[in-house]
A and B are shown apart, each in its own frame.
Chain A
Amino acid sequence: MRQNRGVSTLKWLDEVTMQSSRQLTRRTSRRHLLTRLGILLVGGSSLPLLPVARATGNAGGYPGVAAQSTGNPADPGDPTDCNYWRYCAIDGYLCSCCGGTQNSCPPGTEMSPLTWIGTCRNPADGIHYIISYNDCCGKTSCGRCLCNRNEGDKPLYRAQSNNDTNWCLGTQSSVYTCSTAVILGVASGQENE
């Protein structure tokens, strides 16, 4: 599968390069460009890896992964898509693609009680929520829907805000399976948009 995706990657990267050039010339929104760049880079990439793969999922998520919905209009988006709003600082395989959900672990795994924390904006209400990225542990890597986004991510020396750490801590097994994104509450000091 990786090889098949790899062919596409080159094409995507070419598109990235071309689009970068074009858009830079046109002086369009930087953020827009980078969002597209990230989507293309990782959506098409065979990057099985976390730290450098940025936002993923060409429109509709990962190839061969059926879309999902929370069923709640106040919680919009596809939990199998790296661009789902809660995943703004996630790093790992999406449990939604691995037998779990955006806030539940797959059967037979154990949810880590320790975790790293991000703050993500829900586009439905404009509110920033504190998100806990609890890892699910005890079975080998899921290997599906790798997603790495790094908004607010800090280096390892600020561990509580770092997503390069294996947060399968305090569990029976430290073997990493996949990652969830659980809402803890509304972030304080935010400005609604």
Chain B
Amino acid sequence: MPKLAIVATITVCLAIGGVVISPNSQAELIAEPIPSVLQLPAAYPDSLLFVHDTNFDALIAGRIVLVDVAATTRNYLGALDAAQFASFVESRRKGELYVTETFYSRGTRGKRTDLLTIHDKSSLAPIAELELPGGKRALVVSHRYTLQLVDNDQFLLVYNFTPAASVTVIDIDQRAILNELPIPGCGLIYPSGRRGFSSLCSNGSLYTVQFDEQGEPLSQYRLPPFFNVDEDPLFDKPVYSDGRAWFASFKGGLQAVDFSKQIPEIGDRWSLLSPEDREENWRPGGWQIATLSDQGLLHVLMHPQGFDGSHKSGGSEVWVFDLAGRQRLKRIRLREWGVSIEVTRGEEPYLVVTNGEMQLDIYAAQSGNWLKTIGGVAATPFNLHARR
């Protein structure tokens, strides 16, 4: 028998027996199991980022994409659905991720259903739903202060806008809606006090509600106006640290507010700009315009030659400030024009910038050096959530 025929015969026999052995020294690939679905580790890395894709070209199919910006490969870890101007927040206390979203029974028409959808952090599968009655959930361009957790993450607060503004209080442990608290003339949810929230108001004032474990209001305060909404409004996206918040203003101010007490205290206001900066009319701008690192460094997306209406124009630089010393430490000149920024958690944070191409530019936050670009993650990654 020719040598080749002998080899072929042996191979066929082995294959019939269910095992294929290569005639070559290199083993062939083994059969793989079906089905096969991955899970994520229960503990996420500090470098994980939740990228909210509002998906403007198909708003009913938004997503939250989980991206590990430190990984050298497989950055895209998985995604959650987040339908129609959804809101998102990660639980610190539970292995859960919360999405509030809106569906219609026929896709774009039919009966409206607003849902809180609770996803498991490992499987990324929905594990519970809670229907939000009344079709009230605020539908706005993705915004983290439309959905917030307070009191050790037990109570989830949902911003409603019909255009009457209110906040729905949900007990996450009981999976129960407790109450709906009106916030007339005000908007958004800023965690405040032990178990409460504040909302900024259209006249520049601040409205604060503390509530009990049943969601009933314990106290309500309206602080008088402390900024001029017409002349120099505060951006509605502050940064937070230990119950204190800092709001940048359209013209480059920075307003501190202490939300750690039952009644918020309006803190100092100072300028992010030097006289030279003012000469060039630098201003904050973009969608997510500011972020705070675990090292206490404020990062602000800035553009020169600002004007009335440039507050969403994005920026060419990220400026880094020491909040305690009120000093600018660094100017990071971006590789590409930026529209949103976020700094990841941990001792070696990454600065992530959504660029004009809707890609994610990754910088080492401490050095400001560009490291890489992660593309194709989302159609419109305007909101970037670091781990909480």
Contacts and interface: CB of A to CB of B under 8 A. Distances in A.
Interface of A: 6, 9-10, 13, 16-17, 20, 24, 30-31, 33-34, 37-38, 41, 45-52, 54, 88-89, 114, 138-141, 143, 146, 148-160, 164-166, 168-169, 172-176
B109 A175 contact: yes
Interface residues of B, number: 62
Interface string B101-142: 010100111001000000000000000000000010011110
A46 B358 contact: yes
A173 B111 CA distance: 8
Nearest to B109: A173
Contact of A41 (B139, B308, B313): B313
Contacts of A139: 108
14 contacts: A10-B357, A24-B304, A31-B307, A33-B305, A38-B310, A41-B313, A45-B357, A48-B380, A51-B141, A51-B287, A140-B107, A141-B59, A166-B139, A175-B59
Contact of B356 (A9, A51, A152): A9
A160 B380 CA distance: 25
Contacts of B233: 154-155, 158
A148 B56 CA distance: 13
Contacts of B58: 140-141, 143
A164 B141 contact: yes
Contact of B57 (A45, A48, A54): A48
B54 A49 contact: yes
B245 to A, nearest CB: 14
A156 B188 contact: yes
Contacts of A13: 336-337, 356
Contacts of B102: 174
Contact of B163 (A88, A143, A154, A169): A169
B75 interface: no
Contacts, number: 168
A165 B161 contact: yes
B239 interface: no
A143 B312 contact: no
Contact of B235 (A49, A54, A155): A155
Contact of A174 (B84, B201, B281): B84
A158 B60 contact: no
A120 B59 CA distance: 28
B67 interface: no
B378 to A, nearest CB: 11
A116 to B, nearest CB: 10
B178 interface: no
A150 B102 CA distance: 27
Q: Sorted from nearest, which 8 A-B pairs have the closest CB atoms?
A: A166-B139, A157-B187, A155-B236, A157-B200, A52-B339, A150-B309, A158-B202, A151-B309
A157 B307 CA distance: 21
B202 A157 contact: yes
For B229, B234, B305, the residue with the greatest tally of chain A CB atoms inside 10 Å of its CB is B305
A156 to B, nearest CB: 5
Contact of B112 (A9, A52, A140, A174): A174
A47 B307 contact: no
B363 to A, nearest CB: 18
Interface string B282-315: 0000110000000000000000111111111110
A15 B103 CA distance: 42
A16 B313 CA distance: 13
A158 B143 CA distance: 15
A95 B358 CA distance: 24
A65 B202 CA distance: 38
Given A9-B357, A166-B85, A155 B312 contact: no
Interface string B370-388: 0000000001101000000
Given A48-B57, A140-B108, A166 B305 contact: no
A30 B278 CA distance: 13
Given A47-B339, A49-B56, A159 B165 contact: yes
Given A30-B305, A54-B310, A159-B165, A164 B202 contact: no
Contact of B56 (A34, A141, A158, A175): A141
A38 to B, nearest CB: 7
B356 A155 contact: no
B190 to A, nearest CB: 10
A52 B309 contact: no
B162 interface: yes
Contacts of A138: 108-109
Given A45-B356, A166-B140, 5 more contacts: A13-B356, A49-B56, A52-B314, A149-B309, A154-B233
Interface string B49-83: 00000101111100000000000000000000000
Contact of B143 (A45, A164, A168): A164
B199 interface: yes
B139 A165 contact: yes
B103 to A, nearest CB: 10
A165 B187 CA distance: 12
B202 A34 contact: no
Nearest to B311: A150
Given A50-B56, A157-B202, A34 B143 contact: no
A24 B140 CA distance: 36
